[in-house]
Amino acid sequence: MPLIIITGLPTSGKTHRAQQLQSYLSERIASLPPAQQYRLHYISDQTLSIPRSVYDLSSVPAHARSANSSEKDARAKISGAVKRVLSPKDIVILDGMNYIKGWRYQLFCEAKNVSTPSCLVQVAGGGRERSREVNEKRLRRREARERGEVVEGEDEEEPYEPGNWENLVFRYEEPNPMTRWDSPLFLLLWEDEEARTREVFAQIWESICGEGRKVVRPNQ
């Protein structure tokens, strides 16, 4: 069925929440009668092999920034991947910063074009400082790996270059739930514990798969 767009600052915990949501939705889908079951898809920069560097404006000359082609190409790739699977029988979780409002509008239109609802899940990482710390920790892990040290732990994700991270935070366009394309908007905070998280996930399910979900027609 629908498109679930994740949004948030870099390293704010988006993938962590997207994966929790994925397992929650698989449980809910499994409890439906077979004929009503949805297919569930998870799409992210990582699944599409899009590197962090596509968002790095420091490698682009100032006069070319408005047409930053690497980021544009990345968006075309994401949009293609979403369009390939999105249908009333497919739920798509799109994990990424999705930080440009025009881009969120485009995604909202893609969903509408196939008569399926969309919603936005904002992941707020307990403030910029915490998100910055996560990136700095990843930078230190990468340096240690480069020095040939054995790095323990599960966090294998690549860091953003510090300038890229700061710039993405600066460019982030906050969702506005008063607009059609940023609503319904669900907020998940870093400190939201399991019970609260499941409550928000249940609201998401209700809005996109529940009895009261919006009927979407392409030309409304």
Applying CB under 6 A, the span of 13-21, 100-108, 109-117, 206-214 interacting with ligand ADP comes to 13-21
- d(CA 78, CA 95) in angstroms, rounded, equals 10
* Beta pairing partners, 57: none
Applying CB under 5 A, the span of 14-22, 56-64, 69-77, 84-92 interacting with Mg ion comes to 14-22
Nearer to ligand ADP by C-beta: 82 or 209?
82
Say if residues 12 and 131 touch (Cβ distance below 8 Å): yes
Q: Is 159 in the site for ligand ADP (CB under 6 A)?
A: no
CB of 15 to Mg ion, least distance (A): 3
- d(CA 19, CA 162) in angstroms, rounded, equals 26
Q: Is 14 in the site for ligand ADP (CB under 6 A)?
A: yes
Determine the 3-state secondary structure of 191 from DSSP. Answer: coil
Q: Is 12 in the site for Mg ion (CB under 5 A)?
A: no
Q: Is 12 in the site for ligand ADP (CB under 6 A)?
A: yes
* Beta pairing partners, 40: 91
CB of 47 to Mg ion, least distance (A): 11
- d(CA 92, CA 108) in angstroms, rounded, equals 12
125-130 long-range contacts, CB within 8 A, separation 24+: 125/8, 125/9, 125/11, 125/12, 125/13, 125/190, 126/189, 126/190, 126/191, 128/9, 128/169, 130/12, 130/190
Determine the 3-state secondary structure of 94 from DSSP. Answer: strand
Q: Is 11 in the site for Mg ion (CB under 5 A)?
A: no
User: Among all chains, which residue has been given the structure tokens 């699977």?
Assistant: 85
Choose the contact partner of 11 out of ligand ADP, Mg ion, none; CB within 5 to 8 A by kind.
ligand ADP
Applying CB under 5 A, the span of 10-18, 48-56, 130-138, 175-183 interacting with Mg ion comes to 10-18
CB of 157 to ligand ADP, least distance (A): 5
- Under rule CB under 6 A, how many of the chain's residues touch ligand ADP? 12
Nearer to ligand ADP by C-beta: 55 or 205?
55
CB of 13 to ligand ADP, least distance (A): 3
Measured from each CB, the residue nearest to Mg ion is 15
- d(CA 163, CA 63) in angstroms, rounded, equals 18
| Residue 150 CA neighbour count, 13 Å, CB half | 1
Choose the contact partner of 2 out of ligand ADP, Mg ion, none; CB within 5 to 8 A by kind.
none
Which positions lie near Mg ion, rule CB under 5 A?
Answer: 14-15
Which positions lie near ligand ADP, rule CB under 6 A?
Answer: 8, 10-16, 134, 155, 157, 190
